[in-house]
Structures are given as C-alpha cells and as structure tokens.
C-alpha cells in the first residue's frame, strides 16, 4: 500500500502500457485492492455528485427504464441508478471489479457484467434509455478513443440520453496519462448520427469549485 491514492494505479498502468496493453492494469489494480495491498483511486463511498445532481435537477427517475453504466468499477453509480428505479446494467473490463461490486451489493438488482467497451456485445446497440459514461473513455489511450466513443454512443436507444462526465483538456494539449482528459472536440464526437448534444457544460460538485469536469448530455431523437 502506498501513500498517494494514485500511486498504485500509476505503477500498474505504466507497466501495462509499456507492454502495449491499454486495459490489463485495471484488473491487476482491483486484484491488489481486493488483497488489501493497493488503493483504487476512484473508489468513493458516494455516487458521482455530478451524476446525482443532474438526475435531481432533471427529475430523472427510472420507472423501469433501462440504464447502462460504462466502466462501472465498484458499482457506486450503478447502485444509485438502481435505487432511483432504473433497470440497470453495469459493465467493466476488470473481472475483479465486477466480482467485488457483486460482493459489496449482494442484494442488488443491478446486472453486473464483465465486458469490454472496445468490443461490446451487439445486443447492447440502441438498448438503453440512459447511458452513463463517467471517466472511462479518458482512462483509455487516445489511440482507441474513437472506437471507445463510438461504442458508448451506439448504446443509446431511440429517445434515450447519454450523460458523459470527463476531465477537461485544452485543444492540442498532450497528457501523460492515464488519464487522458477530453477536449471539447472529443466531447462533441459523442454526437454521431441522430445523437445530438443537449447541454455541454463545465461543472463542479457543490463545495468543490476547483474540481471542474465536462458534463455533457446527448439525446437520440
């Protein structure tokens, strides 16, 4: 266990990326965390405040509509959506993240699934009324960004919405990631086909004015 919350992720990502493996480090990080020897920096007790706030302000409750959480990690956002009544599916490439989420929430109605955003099952195309993508696309190298972005967008059902939360990069800036935050153009790139931007803002959670993120909403007509 190291002192900084990011240190274990940085160590494992550096090893993985040096072997041209963009995602292998996530599983190793979750395995070490399950053993109590590493910290998952995004493992927070509460759901993402920018998601909670958006759902509240737009009076969004599930009512049995289908939600998908991309790169769900340990399940905090998926559980929140399920509590609001969304029929929620949540996937992650890391088997141990999914196993740990199921163990943390043994009575959960969430359908936790191991899956790869870079190769998602065809039946997820157009299958979800609300798709939530929070800081997963930015955790993948820019070489796979176009594929990851397109695969997120593809999951939104006709009449459905996509909510993207991501770190902010200036146009032309080179990040030594992970993460590789998104430029405005990379946010706009989620709008493919009839998926249209509704609101693209730079938002911060209440009481954290310096913690600014993209919060972008798209709607499929």
In the complex, the residues that contact ligand SAM under the rule CB under 6 A are 23, 26, 42, 48, 71-73, 91-94, 97, 116-118, 134-136, 139-140
Task: Count CA atoms within 13 Å of residue 147 on its CB side.
Answer: 10
Nearer to ligand SAM, 194 or 201 (CB): 201
Asked if 114 and 92 count as a contact pair (C-beta separation under 8 A), the reply is: yes
**Residue of minimal CB distance from ligand SAM?**
71
Asked if 196 and 159 count as a contact pair (C-beta separation under 8 A), the reply is: no
Nearer to ligand SAM, 76 or 220 (CB): 76
Question: Which residues are CB-neighbours of 111 under 8 A, at least 6 positions away?
Answer: 88, 89, 90
The distance of closest approach from Cβ of residue 43 to ligand SAM in the complex, given in angstroms and rounded to an integer, is 8
The distance of closest approach from Cβ of residue 132 to ligand SAM in the complex, given in angstroms and rounded to an integer, is 8
Nearer to ligand SAM, 2 or 63 (CB): 2
Report which secondary-structure segment, H or E, holds 89.
Answer: strand 87-92
The distance of closest approach from Cβ of residue 40 to ligand SAM in the complex, given in angstroms and rounded to an integer, is 8
The distance of closest approach from Cβ of residue 129 to ligand SAM in the complex, given in angstroms and rounded to an integer, is 19
Beta strands 128-134 and 66-70, pairing class: parallel
Pick from 150, 153, 155, 169: which is nearest to 213 by CA?
Answer: 169
CA dihedral (86, 192, 175, 118) positive or negative: positive
Nearer to ligand SAM, 116 or 146 (CB): 116
**Residues present in the chain in total:** 221
Nearer to ligand SAM, 73 or 160 (CB): 73
The distance of closest approach from Cβ of residue 193 to ligand SAM in the complex, given in angstroms and rounded to an integer, is 22
Whole-angstrom Cα distance, residue 180 to residue 178?
5
């Amino acid at each position: 266990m190291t002192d900084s919350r990011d240190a274990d992720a940085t160590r494992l990502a550096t090893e993985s990326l040096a072997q041209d493996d963009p995602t292998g480090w996530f599983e190793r990080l979750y395995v070490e965390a399950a053993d109590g020897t590493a910290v998952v920096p995004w493992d927070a007790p509460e759901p993402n405040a920018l998601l909670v706030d958006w759902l509240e302000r737009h009076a969004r409750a599930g009512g049995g509509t289908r939600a998908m959480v991309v790169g769900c990690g340990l399940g905090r956002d998926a559980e929140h959506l399920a509590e609001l009544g969304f029929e929620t599916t949540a996937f992650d490439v890391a088997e141990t993240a999914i196993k740990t989420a199921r163990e943390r929430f043994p009575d959960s109605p969430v359908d936790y699934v191991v899956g790869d955003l870079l190769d998602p099952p065809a039946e997820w195309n157009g299958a979800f009324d609300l798709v939530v993508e929070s800081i997963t696309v930015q955790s993948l190298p820019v070489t796979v960004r176009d594929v990851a972005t397109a695969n997120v967008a593809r999951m939104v059902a006709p009449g459905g919405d996509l909510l993207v939360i991501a770190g902010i990069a200036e146009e032309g800036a080179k990040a030594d990631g992970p993460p590789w935050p998104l430029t405005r153009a990379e946010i706009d790139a989620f709008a493919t086909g009839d998926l249209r931007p509704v609101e693209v803002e730079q938002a911060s959670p209440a009481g954290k004015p310096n913690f600014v993120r993209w919060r972008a909403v798209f709607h499929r007509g």
